[in-house]
Structure 1
Amino acid sequence: MTKLTNLLTEIRVKKPLIHHITNQVTMNFLANGILAAGGSPMMAHHYEEAAEAVMAADALILNIGTVEPDLVKGMILAGKKAKDNGIPVVLDPVGAGLSSLRKTAVADIIDEVSPDVICGNAAEIAFLSGEKWSGKGVDGSLAEDSSELARYAATRLNGMVAITGKEDILSNGKETILIKGGDEMLSYVTGTGCLSTSLIGLFLAKSVTVDLTPLERAAGSLTYLGLCAERAVSGTRGPGSFQTAFLDELYLFRDEELDERGRWDVVLGGNSR
C-alpha cells in the first residue's frame, strides 16, 4: 500500500476524535460526514468545558458560521489548549467580512490561537489577507489566480491555507497544490464546504502517524471529498438524494482509491501526483 492508502486505512482503524466548535446549521451533517469517513465527532461547544474536552481530541475544528461571543470564547480557550498540546487546529472563517462581530471574532482567533490551517472560499481568504472583498467575490489581481491568493495568504497568516471552490487550492507559502474534482452539486447542499474543513482536521489527526507532510494530508482529504462527490452524483435526482448518496460514498470509498484515482497538480514547489 502507498502512503495515501495507508493514511485512510489508519484513520478508519484508529477512528480519531474530532472536536467541533461549529456552525449550528451544519452540525448534524458534519457529525455524520466524519462518522462515514471513519472518524469520531465531538460537539462540545460551551466555554466552560471546551478547553477540557479538547484534551481528548485528535484535532479541533473552529467554524464561525453561527458565531456568538460565548462561542468565540470557547474557541479561543480550546484552541490555545490544543496548540499547547500538539493537537491540530483548523479554522473555517465563514462570512469573515460580513459583520463587525465576525471580523473581530476571526481576528481574535487567529491572533490568539494561530490555527494550523485556515479553510474558506476565495472571498473569505482574500478578506483575511487584507485584499478587497465585495462579499461575493474578490477584487484585484489576486482574484485572477487563486493559487497566488493561497500562497500570499499562507505567508501572511503564517499557516496552511485551503481555498475551496470549483478547484481546491492548498498552500503553505512554499508549496501550492491544485486539486481538481468534485461536482457542482456540492454547492446545493449546505455544509459541504464546512465538511471540507472537518475532513482536513480528520486527515491531520494527531493520532494518525503516516509519513506524509501536513500539506499532503490536507490534499488527500480534499481529494477524497471530491472523488466521493463525483461518485455520488451518478443516478441522483437532486440535492436531497445527492446528500444521502454522498454520505454513503464517504463510507463505501475504498482506501486504495486515494492512490488509484486521486490526482493533484503542484503549481509551486513539491511533486505532482
Structure 2
Amino acid sequence: MTKLPNLLKDIRLKKPLIHHMTNQVTMNFLANGILAAGGSPMMAHHYEEAEEAVMAADALILNIGTVEPDLVKGMILAGKKAKSSEIPVVLDPVGAGLSSLRKTAVSEIIDEVSPNVICGNAAEIAFLSGEQWSGKGVDGSLAEDSSELARFAANQLNCLVSITGKEDILSDGTETMVIRGGHEMLSYVTGTGCLSTSLIGLFLAKSVTTDLTSFERMAGALTYLGLCAERAVSAARGPGSFQTAFLDELYLLSAEELDETGRWETVHGGKSNEQS
C-alpha cells in the first residue's frame, strides 16, 4: 500500500497531539514512543480538566492498566467530548476481566463513549465480547481462533478491534486481517502492548491527511511497530538495550521503509466497513 509512507510523512510533519489517560506503569515509555514516532504526547488525567484537554488533541487513548474510579470518571468525560468532536478514541482494556472494578469500568467506558477502536490481547477481547474469559491477568491467551474472535468482537462491540500477540489480528466485523512480523523481545519490555494502542491513536489522528480508511491506518500503525522491533533486535543484547534501540528505530525508520508487503493477509474478505 503505497499510501502508508505518505501517512507517516504527514504524521511527522504535523506532530499530532495524542491525549493519554493511561496507566502509571508505562506512561513515560508511551510518551517517549509517541515523541520518537513523530507525534506529541499529552498526559492529562484529572476529571476536572479532561474535557478541556481533549479538545486540543488529535486522538484520545484510554488505558485502564492502573484503574481507579476518578480516572474512569475522567475517561468518560473526555471520551464523550472527543466523540462529539470527531476525535478518534482508542481503548486498551488492560486486564478487563481481572476484577469487579475493571469489569465495571470498561463496561461503563464502552457504553458511555463507544470507542472507535478497542485494542487488547485475546483474553481481554474475549471478555468484552461476552465469550468465556480463560486468561489470567494481562497476559492471558485463548485457544480459539483469534481471527474469528476479532470478527465476532467487532460486530458485538460495533467498533474496530485489534488483538495483539505473536500475530496481530484486526477486524471491522466484515474484513479481518492478520499482520505478521515483530519480534518476541517485545514481550520482555513492559508497555509495548500499550504502545500499540498509542500508535494506533497516532495513525488515526484527526489532523493527519490521508485517503486510507481507519482500518488501513490501524494496520499501518501495527506494521510500523513490528518493523521497528525487528530492526531494534540486531542492536540489542537483552530487554534493556532492546527498549532503547526500539525507541531509536521508531525515530529512525524512514517513511519509505514503511511497507506492508508480505505482512498483511486478509482472512475474511470484504471491503472495510468502518464503525463510527
3-state SS, counterpart of residue 259 of structure 1 = coil
Name which of structure 1's ranges 128-137 and 30-39 shifts more when overlaid on structure 2.
128-137
User: Following superposition of structure 1 onto structure 2, how do residues 167-246 of structure 1 map, counting pairs within 5 Å?
Assistant: 167-246=167-246
User: Following superposition of structure 1 onto structure 2, how do residues 92-241 of structure 1 map, counting pairs within 5 Å?
Assistant: 92-136=92-136, 137=140, 143-241=143-241
Which residue does 1:249 correspond to in 2? Answer: 249
Which residue does 1:45 correspond to in 2? Answer: 45
CA distance in 1, matches of 2:17, 2:262: 25
Per-residue CA deviations over 1:67-91 (Å, capped at 9, x if unaligned) read 0000000000000000000000000
The answer to whether the 8 A contact 1:90-1:201 is kept is yes
Shift of 1:135: 2.8
TM-score between the two structures when normalised by the length of structure 2 = 0.95
Which residue does 1:80 correspond to in 2? Answer: 80
Share of identical aligned residues, percent? 84
- Structure (1/2) with the larger helix percentage: 1
CA distance in 2, matches of 1:74, 1:261: 40
The answer to whether the 8 A contact 2:199-2:222 is kept is yes
Shift of 1:134: 2.4
Shift of 1:192: 0.1
CA distance in 2, matches of 1:151, 1:260: 21
Shift of 1:119: 0.2
CA distance in 1, matches of 2:157, 2:98: 20
Matched letter for residue 267 of structure 2 = V
Matched letter for residue 107 of structure 1 = S
CA distance in 1, matches of 2:82, 2:120: 21
Unaligned segments of structure 2, at least 5 residues: 272-276
Shift of 1:260: 6.8
Which residue does 1:6 correspond to in 2? Answer: 6
Per-residue CA deviations over 1:43-97 (Å, capped at 9, x if unaligned) read 0000000111000000000000000000000000000000000000000000000
The answer to whether the 8 A contact 1:227-1:262 is kept is no
3-state SS, counterpart of residue 256 of structure 1 = helix
CA distance in 1, matches of 2:37, 2:217: 14
Shift of 1:258: 1.3
CA distance in 2, matches of 1:262, 1:250: 20
CA distance in 1, matches of 2:55, 2:79: 10
Unaligned segments of structure 1, at least 5 residues: none
The answer to whether the 8 A contact 1:131-1:138 is kept is no
CA distance in 1, matches of 2:254, 2:262: 12
Shift of 1:138: 5.4
CA distance in 2, matches of 1:166, 1:83: 31
CA distance in 2, matches of 1:86, 1:160: 15
TM-score between the two structures when normalised by the length of structure 1 = 0.96
Shift of 1:270: 4.8
CA distance in 1, matches of 2:232, 2:262: 16
3-state SS, counterpart of residue 47 of structure 1 = coil
